A and B are shown apart, each in its own frame.
Chain A
Amino acid sequence: MSGFFDIPSDLQHSWLGLVGLHLREALLPVLAGLVVSLPLAQLCVRLRWLYPPVLWVTTVLYAIPSLAFFVLLIDYTGQTELTVMIPLTVYSLVVLVPAIVDGVRSVPQETLAAATAMGFGPVRRYFQVQLPIAVPAVIAGLRVATVSSISLVSVGALIGNQGALGNLINDANIYNRPELAVNAVLSMAALAILADVLLVAVRLLLTPWMPRAGRRKQPADVPDPATAALEDAVR
């Protein structure tokens, strides 16, 4: 009888190794998504007509099953992590682009007018005024994107051992060890909660200027018990 954390050797990783792999495959796409979304969202803010089509495209891309992406990509990138991370990056856009656009648009008109009147050029104004004020909305988007990315990594199991913790579910079937499936689910849930709590902490650090009672200003940012507890601790 093998233990809860004894990982079958075909996965070539310890449990911790799988956790690390899982985090890498889940978080790098969110980071890449953020890097793509920032300029894309800014373009959508400046050119209003561009926003609806961009939103439409990200939604359609999100609707494409990951298997279809894998079939398409496998000729170029093979059975690698990259093949898993590219669709995850694409999926994150559907959350991140609107979050950033809404955040940047939520900057009050008079704040923008004041910045312009004081002699901020458009670039400086974006980085020193609009983006910092959009931080709460951006992080709210990152929280959703991160949690969903952590659960989506499992589909990598479809192209061989690229699903990190998700592969354990496969192995649970092969070796008839249901505890491996339980392990996979619990581990992923723990990672998701941990990542979420960390993001909330980052937001609290970056936004000392926010009224603490004013979280309702960020509708996407639904407080959960963990974040409430953390906020209390920080306060």
Chain B
Amino acid sequence: MFGVLIRIDSVTKRYPDGTVAVDRLSLDIPDRSITVLVGPSGCGKTTTLRMINRMVEPTEGTILLDGKDVTQQPVNTLRRSMGYVIQNAGLFQHRTILDNIATVPRLLGWGKDRARGRARELMERVGLDAALAKRYPYQLSGGQQQRVGVARALAADPPVLLMDEPFSAVDPVVRKGLQDELLRIQAELGKTIVFVTHDIDEAVKLGTMVAVLRTGGRLAQYAPPAELLSAPADAFVEDFLGADRGIRRLSFFPATDLALLTTPIVAVDATAEQIAARATGETPYLLVTGLDGRPLGWSAPHELTAGSIDPGRLLSHGRPFVPGTDSLRAALDCAVLSPTGWAVAVGADGRVTGVVSQQTIAEAIRGAHAAVPADAPAAAPPSLSKGGPSDAKVAG
């Protein structure tokens, strides 16, 4: 975060029919990060977003962009400096994918070839096959259309991206892919993104800051997601976060400090002496690894035949976690899902670095909570649940 880019200053929107969509909202939106507006349907999220690019004019209050009132510059100049992505993409059905993406550069007066060249770059950036360039929107899947929507918004390299429930209409698997892609793009390009969603999980996953709005367009809480989870401001926010916020909060604690056991691990070609030496009784099971160091599965020591361990007869080791990048939530999940109750830790290269029990993880959770009192905001939370690219985001 570098500073405040967009300042929403006690803004109210009253529609002609008397509906108060937004009520004295004040929000400082930080530079080069993702700020999420989240809340139930009809709480004024879209209205707020559209006041930033003046598709809706506030009834009261001002919005400052980089310190200047947004009403100070011509409205179309303002809009061309802000990418806009909506649900169902809103693509121009009569233009090819390439020309859809080239729209804003063309509006800005770029030549056709330059605009199309730029569009091709962006197709690659958002993970679209170049072969789609000449297709029309109806020939694309929902997820692909949404990628085109993101590429189109990025085409003129605007500093600000406004996104209104962009991923709500696609299925969960595609949505996760799009979310990860957005985090990657944000880390690479350092855009200031204002992201609207009604999905709290999406908000927690994507947001550097999350603003929870309640019906009537009033701000309920504005905080980093870890703080939201640890210290909801009131019953409304707590309710909105859902029942498992404690578990989800574990996403913000690193698994780095878990004490890993390295004894109960044998290679698939282990001798009888090696097996005996490893079966110390600390664990009822031994983890068998391949010759490459990757996990193969669990087995009771007496069922292992030295020299000829049959990998097909081992108990599944479940999904392993990576202590350096995964969170306590991921570690706990691995342990809970493992048939032995033990989680397998691997390095970035997939080689086993140790095993850890549910009890050890539970102690680590208690330790983490003790370090950060449940009612106080967690300071500078690592956004571990967000995968690799988000590390850059936190650093940035």
Q: Which of B72-87 touch A at CB < 8 Å?
A: 75-80, 82, 84, 86-87
Contact of B91 (CB < 8 Å), options: A111, A124, A207, A210: A111
Is the pair A208, B88 in contact by a Cβ cutoff of 8 Å? no
B240 at the interface (CB under 8 A from A): no
**Chain B, residue nearest A111 (CB):** B90
Given A117-B53, A118-B104, A119-B107, A110-B90 contact (CB < 8 Å): yes
Binds A, one of B92-100, B179-187, B302-310: B92-100
**Count of residues in A whose CB is under 8 Å from the partner chain:** 23
Q: Which of B191-220 touch A at CB < 8 Å?
A: none
* Interchain CA distance A206-B361 in the complex, whole Å: 64
Is the pair A209, B91 in contact by a Cβ cutoff of 8 Å? no
Given A111-B93, A208-B136, A118-B55 contact (CB < 8 Å): no
By a CB distance below 8 angstroms, the chain A residues around B138 are 209-211, 214
Q: Between A and B, how many residue pairs show CB distances below 8 Å?
A: 68
**Chain B, residue nearest A213 (CB):** B138
B103 at the interface (CB under 8 A from A): yes
A27 at the interface (CB under 8 A from B): no
* Interchain CA distance A116-B137 in the complex, whole Å: 19
Is the pair A111, B92 in contact by a Cβ cutoff of 8 Å? yes
* Interchain CA distance A108-B152 in the complex, whole Å: 18
A113 at the interface (CB under 8 A from B): yes
Is the pair B86, A129 in contact by a Cβ cutoff of 8 Å? no
By a CB distance below 8 angstroms, the chain A residues around B80 are 118-119
Given A209-B136, A211-B138, A110-B77 contact (CB < 8 Å): no
Most A CB within 10 A of own CB, among B77, B86, B149: B86
**Count of residues in B whose CB is under 8 Å from the partner chain:** 30
* Interchain CA distance A113-B78 in the complex, whole Å: 15
Interface string of A140-174 (1 = CB under 8 A from B): 00000000000000000000000000000000000
A114 at the interface (CB under 8 A from B): yes
Is the pair A209, B93 in contact by a Cβ cutoff of 8 Å? yes
* Interchain CA distance A129-B138 in the complex, whole Å: 16
Is the pair B79, A118 in contact by a Cβ cutoff of 8 Å? yes
By a CB distance below 8 angstroms, the chain A residues around B87 are 110
Is the pair A129, B79 in contact by a Cβ cutoff of 8 Å? no
Is the pair A114, B76 in contact by a Cβ cutoff of 8 Å? no
A8 at the interface (CB under 8 A from B): no
Is the pair B94, A113 in contact by a Cβ cutoff of 8 Å? no
A120 at the interface (CB under 8 A from B): yes
By a CB distance below 8 angstroms, the chain B residues around A113 are 55, 86, 90
- Shortest distance in angstroms between B16's beta carbon and chain A's nearest beta carbon? 15
- Shortest distance in angstroms between A98's beta carbon and chain B's nearest beta carbon? 21
Is the pair A133, B94 in contact by a Cβ cutoff of 8 Å? yes
* Interchain CA distance A108-B86 in the complex, whole Å: 13
Given A114-B86, A120-B107, A207-B94 contact (CB < 8 Å): yes
**Chain B, residue nearest A112 (CB):** B90
Interface string of A103-137 (1 = CB under 8 A from B): 00000101101111111110010000100110100
- Shortest distance in angstroms between A205's beta carbon and chain B's nearest beta carbon? 13
By a CB distance below 8 angstroms, the chain B residues around A116 are 55, 79
**Chain B, residue nearest A114 (CB):** B90
* Interchain CA distance A210-B95 in the complex, whole Å: 10
* Interchain CA distance A113-B88 in the complex, whole Å: 12
Most B CB within 10 A of own CB, among A114, A119, A133: A119
Most B CB within 10 A of own CB, among A121, A124, A209: A209
Interface string of A171-182 (1 = CB under 8 A from B): 000000000000
* Interchain CA distance A113-B80 in the complex, whole Å: 14
- List 9 interface pairs A-B (beta carbons < 8 Å), by A numbering: A111-B91, A113-B86, A113-B90, A117-B79, A119-B79, A129-B92, A209-B95, A209-B96, A210-B138
Q: What would 10 more interface pairs be, CB under 8 Å, given A114-B91, A121-B76, A209-B137? A: A110-B90, A114-B149, A116-B79, A118-B84, A118-B104, A118-B152, A119-B77, A129-B94, A209-B96, A214-B138
Closest 6 CB pairs of A and B: A114-B90, A117-B84, A110-B90, A119-B79, A119-B80, A119-B76
B residues sitting closer than 8 Å to A (CB atoms) are 53, 55, 75-80, 82, 84, 86-96, 103-104, 107, 136-138, 149, 152, 162
A residues sitting closer than 8 Å to B (CB atoms) are 108, 110-111, 113-121, 124, 129, 132-133, 135, 207-211, 214
